[in-house]
Structure formats: C-alpha cells, structure tokens
Amino acid sequence: MAYGSSYTSANGNGRVSEFKLKEQMCDIGRRIWQKGFCAGNDGNHSYRIGENRILCTPTGISKGNLVPEDLCVVDMEGKQVSGKRKRTSEILLHLAIYKARPDVKAVIHSHPPHATAFAVAGVELPTCIHPEAEVFLGAVKTAKYVTPGDTRLGESILPYVKDSNTILLQSHGVVCFHPDLEQAYYQLEIVDAYARILLLAKQVGSIRPLDASEMKELLDLKVRFGLKEPRLDDGGKGLTCNTDFVSRVRAEVGGKGRMATPSGTAPVPKVGDASPLSKAIGAMVPNQYSEDDIEQLVQTITDQIMASV
C-alpha cells in the first residue's frame, strides 16, 4: 500500500517560496493532464498559501501547459489580487472548502473519466470493496448537480466537506482536498483508479465485498495510520456498506451467459448442456421456473459461495 510523503519539502528556513509553490502547481497540472483527467481547458486547482491568499489556476488554459507566470492569487472572497491571467471561474467551490475546513491547504477539481462516469450515471461509489479506497478516500459522496461555475456549486458540497476528502459532483466531475497538494492529487488518482477497477470487475463478472471483520480490521489500520475515519466516530456502530453498485452488477451478471448472434441472442443452453450445479438445481426446483430463473439462481448461489470463501 503506497503512502506517499509530503511533496512540499521545506527549504532551510522551514518555508517554501511562492515561486516554488507555483512550480508545484504547474507540476500537478501536467500530471493531471498526462493522466487524461482533464480534456481541453477542463479542471482547476488551488493552494492556500496564507490566511487570505490562495494560489489558483487561471481560466481558459490547458493544465498540461502551465508555467508559474500563468498562476493567479486570490483572496478568501475570490477577488483576484495578482496574476496577469483571469482566475478560474470555479474558485468559489475551492473557497467554500477552505472556509469549512481550515486544515485544508489544497483543492483539485477535475473530470477523471472513470470516476466521472459514476457521477454522470448517478451511481454512488460503493464502499467496503477495495482497501486503498477505504483508507485513502473513505466513503465518497455525490453532491447534487448545479451548473459549473455557479455560486451554488460551493453550497452543494457543504453537507459532505467536514467528513470527507473526495466528493463526486453529480453529472460533472470530482473534487479532492487535503492539507497537502500532493496528497490531494493522489486522491484524484486513487478515486479514478478505484472507479476503473469497479468497471473492470463488472466486466469480469462479479464483485466480492469485504465482510464486517475485514472492514473493521482495515479501518482500525487506517486509524493507526493517523487518518481520520468519521465512520468510526460512534465506535463503528453506524458503519454500513454502500453496495448499490454491487447489486447492480449481480443483477446484470445474473441475466448474462447468453451470446449475441446475428439474429438476436443465442438460445439458453439445454439442461443437458448445463453445468453440474445448474442440473442439480434444475432437478430441485419446481417446473414453473424458467431456465432463465434457474440460471439466475445458479449465479446468485455461485456469488454467495465466492463471497464466503
């Protein structure tokens, strides 16, 4: 499990120059662009470098080509105080996070395709599936859709800001935040990798959720790392797993197993062609069940067996 060190290395007097921080912002922009997390001029990121001083990306420029001179400085109300380019129109989203979370020093907003696919589909990212996602992201919530750039974008995320570090923006993208710029970027990578793993696992055929004891062990480990886990605030009593996506996969896989042909769908195999498990179940269930019903039952039982091993 990779656990990166802080990117912001202090110089001899314990402080990092503003120019150095601007270079770090450009470096993060290049990595966001290289990973394909933003197309065209999409996305924006910011770094709180003082009580009332925030470094942010300008509007209308690819995050892959930023140079330090392109960056803007705004105050906590979003008023631009320096920089020759116009600040991002989505700075109000960043400011809402900085105001609600004084510990946060970096905010990255992007449209990584796999995580954004969940935001577009209106499907929450499931929990209790993948250790990296549990430890580094926790429960990722989806904020209600508002028009990008609108002042309400900041309000839409407020219900989730205190207890999370990564939020999906419905039909839009992702916002990640952290006391450290590099860590906020890692969260962006992790949330998109997690969404990609889920989509690939769906294609493979099924998803095995972590069980209660595996989750407890994992979250205890997370706390030992010194990471905040709001789901353990009441001793873990309120810990529930979001398995909506897992149910969707199960329902879809249950109806699969048929091959597309030029004339439609291949017929369901005859009982004689079925697996020993299908035949055994076929012999047990009453006649009124169709072969499709039996196929679904076989899949459900197989999933349960796989989940318990």
Binding site for Zn ion (CB under 5 A): 148, 173
For residue 225, the minimal CB distance to Zn ion (Å) is: 31
Q: Nearer to Zn ion by C-beta: 116 or 296? A: 116
Is residue 90 among the annotated active site residues? yes
Please give the C-alpha separations between residue 281 and each of 43, 206, 211, 285, in angstroms, as whole numbers: 53, 21, 27, 6
User: Active-site residue among 90, 134, 229, 295?
Assistant: 90
Could you tell me if 205 and 154 are in contact, meaning their C-beta atoms sit under 8 angstroms apart? Answer: no
Q: Which is nearer to Zn ion, 68 or 148 (by Cβ)?
A: 148
Q: Are 91 and 173 in contact (CB under 8 A)?
A: no
User: SS3 helix, strand, coil % of the chain, rounded to 5?
Assistant: 45, 15, 45
Decide whether 174 or 281 has the Cβ nearer to Zn ion.
174
Beta strands in the chain (DSSP E): 44-50, 53-56, 72-74, 80-82, 106-110, 141-143, 166-169, 173-178, 260-261, 264-265
- Closer Cβ to Zn ion, 166 or 299, answer by number: 166
**Strand 53-56 to 72-74 pairing:** antiparallel
Cβ atoms within 10 Å of 170's Cβ, excluding its own: 17
Neighbours of 266 (CB within 10 A): 11
Q: 197: which strand partners?
A: none
d(CA 138, CA 133): 6
State the nearest-atom distance from the C-beta of 168 to Zn ion, in Å.
12
Which of 7/145 has CB closer to Zn ion?
A: 145
Q: How far is the CB of 148 from Zn ion (least distance, A)?
A: 5
CB 35, min distance to Zn ion, A: 16
* Shortest Å, Cβ 63 to Zn ion: 12
The DSSP 8-state label assigned to residue 3 in this structure reads: -
Catalytic residues, by residue number, are 90
